[in-house]
Amino acid sequence: MAIRKVAVMGHPVLRQVSETVAPGEVDTQRIQRLIDDLIETAHEYDGAGIASPQIYEPLRICLIEIRDNPRYPHFPNVPLTILVNPKITVLNDDKLPKYEGCLSVPGIRGLVHRSRGIRVDALDRHGEPLSFQARDLHAATVQHELDHLDGKLFVDNVTDTRTLTFIPEYDRYWHKKGIEMLEAAGAELRKKS
Ligand code: NI
């Protein structure tokens, strides 16, 4: 396993449409190593998720894992979930307002609006079918990761560029407001212990 370098905004690999993984290839050593590297890299940089093109491998693989994440302290925890060739069906297209960040857009947050309910159909890391429903912050995180597989970054979804903020300014001026917006929408937040 290895911590990989993360591609940042401007690198063309982040703007490619990633390739589907042949189901029979998922269990190969090459793909299993890639998945291990994604996990290790996400842990190293406290990513709530990471997508394969972010480590210069434009394949349709991403992961979500939220475990008391210091970059997103208000996010409810989500167990490690590997998604191969994921597809989303929107179940609830009401929009949740949410400040997002990305390991590939370091130091910046911005306000985006994500569908509040989705179903995800994918393969797991052994090539077995995997389906689940997700809502609110979990659903938004999955949508962010899937966008990477289609060459999109969260900044593409920032409709009001005045909400773009560096992280110290986010912490000072916008974090509390962001939480209030999520609370007003009735989104589940992580309970502080
Ligand atoms: Ni990202």
Q: How far apart are CA 149 and CA 60, in angstroms?
A: 6
Residue 4 lies in a domain: no
Non-local CB neighbours of 147 within 8 Å, separated by 6+ positions:
153, 154, 156, 157
Residue 1 lies in a domain: no
Residue 5 lies in a domain: no
pLDDT band at 191 (very low <50, low <70, confident <90, very high): confident
Residue 7 lies in a domain: no
The mean-pLDDT minimum among 9-23, 31-45, 71-85, 90-104 falls in 71-85
Residue bearing tokens 């079918």: 129
Residue 6 lies in a domain: no
CA of 118 to the centre of ligand 1 (A): 18
Q: Which of 123, 103, 100 is nearest to 55 (CA)?
A: 103
Helix (H, G, I), strand (E, B) or coil at 160: coil
CA of 48 to the centre of ligand 1 (A): 9
Residue 73 lies in a domain: yes
Interval 57-101: pLDDT, tens: 999 999 999 988 888 888 889 999 999 999 999 999 999 999 999
Once rounded to an integer, what is the mean pLDDT over residues 109-114?
98
Q: Which of 66, 83, 151, 65 is nearest to 121 (CA)?
A: 83
Residue 105 lies in a domain: yes
**Secondary structure element (H or E) that encloses residue 165, with its range:** strand 165-166
* Residue 22: predicted pLDDT: 97
Residue 24 lies in a domain: yes
Q: Take residue 7 and report the two structure tokens written for it.
A: 């591609």
Q: How far apart are CA 135 and CA 127, in angstroms?
A: 24
**pTM of the predicted model, to two decimals?**
0.96
Give how many domains the chain has, as a whole number.
Answer: 1
CA of 102 to the centre of ligand 1 (A): 4
Range of the domain at 85: 12-192
**Average pLDDT value for the chain:** 96
Catalytic residue flag (residue 145): yes
Q: CATH code at 87?
A: 3.90.45.10
* Residue 11: predicted pLDDT: 98
